[in-house]
Structure 1
Amino acid sequence: MSHAEGSGYSPNGEAASNGSRLTRDTAIRGPARPAPYIGAGILLAAAILFPLMPQLYSFDAPRLAGLPFFYWYQLLWVPISAILTGTAYWLVTKEDRRRRAEARAGGPPSGDAASADAGLGGDRP
């Protein structure tokens, strides 16, 4: 079994003609939910803005291992920013995987599941 079998593409990278032809208008992702993107934006904003507000950390005390507060506060934000950035990446990639799976499955689920995930906008035509 080759790598291209079952993927919808021929071995040379062109769309395979298995009943549905891929065009520029073929949806490759389903509709987006705004919550993961808003959450990722808030996490990234916190990682950027808190270290840029010196009024929060421009103090000498308390000292930690001889370092003034303003040094170790900035150093503390290095792993915190890495964790926040990683979490934002995870949220966005998880949503992208969901959207791609939804497009492969043929659209959003119908019935009660769609109304539960509709969010503030409700069902859109």
Structure 2
Amino acid sequence: MTQSAESPGRRQVVTPSRVVTGICLIVPFVAMLWVSSYARVEPRFIGIPFFYWYQMAWVPISTVLTMIAYKLVQRELRARKGGAAQ
């Protein structure tokens, strides 16, 4: 049996930044797995059917959402280290 890295008395606290991080990471998965929402041809964008350009639009959107999640986690870790040092 392996021991947790955290002491038994400490609990994981759900902070607003963790909730936002989770939402940022789950939204692209939900958007891509809900195929019936984009399984159509119209509206076309510069001649490209909706099915294709919708999926390609999620590439930069997912990148931005992942970057936001990363920044939130880094900010929380810095705050936690700063609070522990004082």
- Normalising by the residue count of structure 1, what TM-score does the alignment of the two structures yield? 0.57
Q: Which has the larger Rg?
A: 1
- The structural deviation recorded for 1:33 is 5.5
- The structural deviation recorded for 1:32 is 5.1
Moved more, 50-59 or 74-83: 50-59
Runs of 4+ displaced beyond 6 Å: none
Unaligned runs of 5+ in 2: 1-5, 7-11
- Normalising by the residue count of structure 2, what TM-score does the alignment of the two structures yield? 0.81
Q: Contact 1:43/1:84 (CA < 8 Å) preserved in 2?
A: yes
**1:98-109 to 2 correspondence within 5 Å?**
98-105=79-86
2:62 to 81, 88, 95: 81
- Whole-angstrom CA distance in 1 between matches of 2:60 and 2:67: 10
Answer 1 or 2: which has greater helix percent. Answer: 2
- Provide the secondary structure at the position in 1 that maps to 2:72: helix
- 1:71-122 deviations in Å (ceiling 9; x for gaps): 00000000000000000000110000000000001xxxxxxxxxxxxxxxxx
The one-letter amino acid paired with 1:36 is S
1:45 aligns with 2:26: yes
Backbone CA RMSD of aligned residues: 1.7
Q: Which has the higher contact order (CA 8 A, sep 6+)?
A: 2
Moved more, 46-55 or 80-89: 46-55
- Whole-angstrom CA distance in 2 between matches of 1:66 and 1:84: 28
Unaligned runs of 5+ in 1: 1-24, 26-30, 106-125
